[in-house]
């Protein structure tokens, strides 16, 4: 054989694939088995192995079919699968391409119910600590249900019969079908935004699990959990249990029961009011009698019979205190007056007017003293001057010259002795009324003992 006689792997695989494609029994197969190696890819495709006690086959469910599953495939789960068998050329292996998948023994919805219930329970959505109390006397009740069903009629009839004081606000809601869950969720959020209602009743009448399935949707459960308004779930009959029942603040077995739980019974309230009124009347009568007897007893008591004796010691004490207060006030006023006088004296002493007057007096005294001293000094100076004047007059050469004496000058010097003159000297002789010049012709020196 030549090399051209050999098939390539790709050609052989394509040939085998065409055989699979041509086989009508492999185009639509129903197979059951146990899931193994379940892997949910980020693209949404599910890859798994379907096996039994003796065989296994690789299988794939693409996202378009996987998104329709109402439950999450898990390891070890027995399932029924409808699909086709074909060859995956890249690996050359045949595998099962699943179109639908149903759990074995129990329905897919039941599996999905249990899975969601378990997950929400782990998150705490069923925790009783998060349950809100239902108001005892609601003013407005919001009802989220279909307006065409029996549930709305039962709810409204029951509320109007039991507690007509409450106002009913209906939010028409789809409770069945593909758009039911989003519509229920939207109306719950809408009622919370409005804020008109004190409590919400969310539910519908009975039906199959498929009919009630909207109340098992996760978005409905989270909307009920996030509602600020307390929610009463009223889904189906008493035997029907949904996720909404677990999340709601109060679960009612039927819509009628929900209405009964939402409002009080006015007849019972009336009976309770009468009962409480009777008890209150008895209590008040007993209390009034007790207080009347107590008042009578107090009125007849010794202090109230002679009340003045109660406050007599206080009056005496008051008088004493008043006297003490008056005396203390007088003493205080005297002390303060004395202090005031002292301060006034000090103020006058250091007053600028007082100091100015004293300064003026001191100035006048010193002026007078200075005047006296000056007059005294002037008198003394006058006497001294007179004496000096007299002495000067006595020594005045002019006075002597008036008596006939004259003064001789030689070259402007007074000639005091004849020895200062020589013959021929010219001297100036000054008289009282003038002078004359003379020439010395002869001089005579006086001898001792000679008369002048």
- Residues 162 and 269 sit within 8 Å (Cβ to Cβ): no
- Residues 159 and 262 sit within 8 Å (Cβ to Cβ): yes
Phi, psi (deg, nearest 5) at residue 48 = -155, 175
Q: What is the pLDDT of residue 446?
A: 79
SS3 230: coil
In angstroms, rounded to a whole number, what is the distance separating the alpha carbons of residues 438 and 427?
A: 5
Q: What is the pLDDT of residue 383?
A: 93
In angstroms, rounded to a whole number, what is the distance separating the alpha carbons of residues 204 and 263?
A: 18
Q: What is the pLDDT of residue 233?
A: 95
Phi-psi region of 304 (alpha: psi -120 to 50; beta: other; left: phi over 0): alpha
The length of the chain, given as a count of residues? 452
Instruction: List the structure tokens of 214.
Output: 């909207």
Instruction: List the structure tokens of 257.
Output: 């029961």
Q: What is the pLDDT of residue 450?
A: 66
Model pTM greater than 0.75? no
Q: What is the pLDDT of residue 399?
A: 73
DSSP letters, 54-80, are S-EEEEEE-HHHHTT-SS---TT-EEE
Residues 6+ apart with CB under 8 A from 439: 424, 425, 426, 427
Kind plus residue range of the DSSP H or E element containing 311: helix 308-349
328-347 confidence digits (pLDDT tens) = 999 999 999 999 999 988 88
Q: Which residues of the chain have pLDDT under 70?
A: 1-2, 105-108, 449-452
- Residues 80 and 99 sit within 8 Å (Cβ to Cβ): no
Residues 6+ apart with CB under 8 A from 61: 45, 46, 48, 83, 97, 98, 99, 101
Candidates 244, 252, 250; CA nearest to 117 is: 244
Q: What is the pLDDT of residue 99?
A: 93
- The beta strands (E) that lie in 146-259 are given as 167-172, 199-204, 231-235, 250-251
**Burial letters 289-298, b for 16+ CB under 10 A, else e:** eeeeeeeeee
Instruction: List the structure tokens of 60.
Output: 């794939």
Instruction: List the structure tokens of 21.
Output: 């494609």
In angstroms, rounded to a whole number, what is the distance separating the alpha carbons of residues 446 and 452?
A: 7
155-178 confidence digits (pLDDT tens) = 999 999 999 999 999 999 999 988
What mean pLDDT, rounded, does the chain reach? 89
């Amino acid at each position: 054989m030549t090399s051209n006689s050999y098939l390539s792997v790709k050609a052989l695989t394509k040939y085998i694939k065409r055989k699979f494609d041509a086989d009508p029994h492999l185009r639509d197969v129903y197979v059951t088995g146990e899931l193994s190696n379940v892997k949910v890819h980020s693209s949404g495709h599910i890859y798994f192995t379907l096996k039994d006690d003796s065989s296994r086959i690789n299988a794939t469910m693409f996202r378009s079919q996987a998104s329709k599953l109402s439950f999450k495939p898990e390891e070890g789960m027995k399932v029924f699968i409808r699909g086709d068998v074909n060859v995956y050329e890249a690996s050359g292996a045949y595998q099962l391409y699943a179109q639908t998948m149903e759990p074995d023994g129990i329905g897919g919805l039941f599996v999905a119910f249990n899975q969601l219930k378990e997950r929400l329970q782990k998150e705490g959505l069923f925790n009783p600590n998060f349950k809100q109390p239902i108001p005892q006397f609601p003013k407005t009740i919001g009802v989220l249900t279909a307006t065409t069903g029996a549930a709305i009629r039962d709810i409204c009839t029951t509320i109007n019969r039991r507690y007509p004081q409450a106002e009913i606000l209906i939010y028409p809601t789809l409770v069945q079908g593909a758009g039911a869950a989003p519509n229920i969720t939207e109306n719950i959020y809408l009622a919370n935004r409005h804020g008109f209602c004190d409590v919400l009743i969310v539910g519908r009448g009975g039906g199959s699990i498929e009919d009630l399935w909207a109340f098992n949707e996760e978005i409905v459960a989270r909307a009920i959990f996030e509602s600020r308004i307390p929610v009463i779930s009223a889904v189906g009959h008493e035997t029907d249990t949904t996720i909404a029942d677990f999340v709601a603040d109060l679960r009612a077995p039927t819509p009628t029961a929900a209405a009964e739980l939402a409002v009080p019974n006015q007849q019972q309230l009336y009976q309770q009011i009468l009962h409480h009124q009777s008890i209150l009347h008895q209590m008040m009568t007993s209390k009034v009698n007790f207080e009347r007897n107590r008042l009578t007893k107090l009125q007849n008591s010794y202090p109230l019979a002679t009340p003045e004796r109660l406050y007599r010691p206080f009056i005496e004490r008051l008088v004493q205190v008043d006297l003490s207060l008056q005396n203390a006030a007088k003493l205080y006023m005297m002390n303060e007056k004395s202090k005031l006088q002292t301060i006034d004296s000090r103020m006058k002493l250091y007053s600028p007017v007082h100091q100015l007057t004293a300064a003026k007096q001191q100035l006048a005294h010193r002026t007078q003293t200075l005047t006296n001293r000056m007059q005294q000094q002037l008198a003394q100076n006058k006497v001294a001057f007179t004496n000096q004047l007299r002495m000067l007059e006595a020594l005045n050469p002019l006075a002597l010259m008036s008596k006939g004496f004259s003064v001789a000058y030689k070259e402007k010097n007074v000639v005091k002795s004849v020895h200062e003159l020589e013959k021929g000297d010219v001297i100036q002789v000054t008289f009282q009324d003038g002078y004359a010049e003379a020439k010395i012709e002869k001089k005579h020196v006086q001898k001792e003992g000679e008369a002048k």
